[in-house]
Amino acid sequence: MKLKPYKEIIAMSKEKLDEALAPIRARQVKGQAELEMAKIDEQIVSTEATIQEICAAKTIEFSRLLRLMDEHALAERRKKQYGKILGDLFPEE
């Protein structure tokens, strides 16, 4: 990496500096969204396992089962929304 002369650095406007940092910030934000999607994936798998355990029990707790099914459906919806957001904000080039 070659350093820019000090005169050039202080002459750069805030807009130019923001422009130079834009790709890095975009990668950072995309990474945050992907991390959130991974957390949602973990929640979906965990919820599915718990639902299967409840259904396999001798007595079924229907209120708990319904609550977990609601959580699962919400997580699936959020995952789709994150996918759409990522597609819109960070289109494949």
Q: What is the DSSP string of 51-93?
A: HHHHHHSSS--HHHHHHHHHHHHHHHHHHHHHHHHHHHHS---
pLDDT tens for each residue of 35-85 = 999 999 999 999 999 999 999 999 999 999 999 999 999 999 999 998 998
Instruction: Work out the burial of residue 90: count CB atoms within 10 Å of its CB; fewer than 13 is exposed, 13-18 middle, 19 or more buried.
Output: middle
- The answer to whether the predicted template modeling score (pTM) of the entire model surpasses 0.75 is no
Can you tell me the distance from the alpha carbon of 40 to that of 73, in angstroms, rounded to the nearest whole number?
Answer: 11
d(CA 23, CA 29): 10
Residue 87 has pLDDT above 70, yes or no: yes
Q: What is the mean pLDDT of residues 20-24?
A: 80
pLDDT, average across residues 15-29:
80
Give the residue-averaged pLDDT of 25-30: 87
